[in-house]
Structure 1
Amino acid sequence: MSRIQCERCLRPQAHCLCPLIPSLDSRTRVLVLQHPSEVRHALNTAKLAVLGLRNSELRVGEAFEDLAALIEVPGYRSALLFPGDQAQPLAAYAVDRDPRPWLLVVPDGTWRKASKLLHMNPLLAALPRVTLAQVLPSRYRLRKAPADGALSTLEAVVQALNVLEAPQCFDALLKPFEALIEGQIEAMGRETYERNHQR
């Protein structure tokens, strides 16, 4: 027998995160392209990011036929939020010479799956890349990061918005994420968590 799920946050109703999810306005538009393997993931942080941001959209797939329309939005300049040799560090709008806000395209999946999204969508791979000049440590305490500076999708979005739209702060988006992680730790038991996940 399956547990009843909240249709909005996709969590079991007894663990619904909706009361913790804010509804924030942002000048920046966020487009998350989610690999299908992430949709039912217990820690679907991309979903939390999009639920908490009014100016955002989540699309699920591997190849996106309508990608041109999604990334060419009048009044915005589009970029891929993804590290790479050519990636330019994001700077606050207050010091930016270009008056247009960013449309940040964020691939969601493991590094391998995110790279596959780029490979299957040449328009995506052709976008200019932006990255975080300084990466704050991840709060994702349940799995070891594949590399230093690796963040969950939600954390990457929050840190990018905090840089771009300073002094506005988007940390409220992290509240359901923190609750989700605490719930997972409680479910596995503190002793098990400390034995397997503490460094």
Structure 2
Amino acid sequence: MSRPHCPRCLRPTTHCLCALIPHLDSRTRVLVLQHPSEVGHALNTARLAALGLNNAQLVVGEVFDDLPMLLNPPGYRARLLFPADDAEPLHAYAPDDQPLLLVVPDGTWRKARKLLHLNPLLAALPRVTLADGGVSRYRLRKAPGPGALSTVEAITQALQVLEAPTSFEPLLKPFEALIEGQIAAMGAEVFQRNHSDPT
């Protein structure tokens, strides 16, 4: 018999994170397109990000038939947060800038690329990127390379740049609690042996 789960954060009710999830306003609209394989993932940080932002939407799928509508909310210009040679680094809004619809594919790099391949409208969007050197706080898995961040970390960093000096750090609170919970579950000794950086 499976454990009861919170219908909002999808965590087991004994480990519900809803009390830590903020309700943040943002000038930027965030659209997270989540590959179905991520829905049951233990972290599912995209869901945490979407729940913590009042101006965010999470859509699960591989092919998005309503993409033309999703990518064209009135008053926003759509940009895809995904690396590319011609991707523009994000920078803070000027006072008269039209805000962004920040489109964020959620999945492994392979699954995210598949979403772009299956949705040509998505692949055709102008791309934006984060500054180099972001370091993930996810201490349980070695990042595949510098700048490899979880979805909630990437969204937080993007909003911090776009909407400076507003802080979006509270978005990371449930993510950090999730990591602490996983470390506690495995035990400090196992964590030290397998995951801590040797000095």
Q: Same fold (TM over 0.5)?
A: yes
Question: Secondary structure of 2:112's partner?
Answer: helix
- Deviation of 1:135 after TM superposition, in Å, equals 3.9
Q: Provide the identity percentage.
A: 73
Partner of 1:193: 191
Matched, 1:174 2:172: yes
Deviation per residue, 1:42-92 (Å, 9 max, x gap): 000000000000000000000100101000111100000011111100010
Counterpart in the other structure of 1:163? 161
Identify unmatched segments of 5+ residues in structure 2: none
Paired positions, count = 197
Moved over 6 A (4+): none
Match of 1:43 in 2: 43
After TM superposition, the score normalised by the length of structure 2 is 0.97
Residue 5 of structure 2 corresponds to which residue in structure 1? 5
Root-mean-square deviation (CA, aligned residues, Å) is: 1.0
CA distance in 1, matches of 2:145, 2:136: 11
Once the 2 structures are TM-superposed, how far is the Cα of residue 108 of structure 1 from its aligned partner? Answer: 0.2
- For residues 141 and 61 of structure 1, the distance between their equivalents in structure 2, rounded to whole angstroms, comes to 28
**After superposition, where does 1:1-199 map in structure 2 within 5 Å?**
1-94=1-94, 99-199=97-197
Question: So what's the TM-score if we normalise by structure 1?
Answer: 0.97
- The answer as to whether partners of 2:31 and 2:103 remain within 8 angstroms in 1 is yes
Where 1:178 maps in the other structure, the secondary structure is: helix
Give ranges in structure 1 of 5+ residues lacking alignment: none
Q: Deviations over 1:114-169 (max 9, x none)?
A: 00000000000000000112443110111111121100000000000000000100
How far the C-alpha of 1:190 sits from its partner, in A, is 1.1
Distance in 2 separating the partners of 1:56 and 1:108: 14
Once the 2 structures are TM-superposed, how far is the Cα of residue 16 of structure 1 from its aligned partner? 0.5
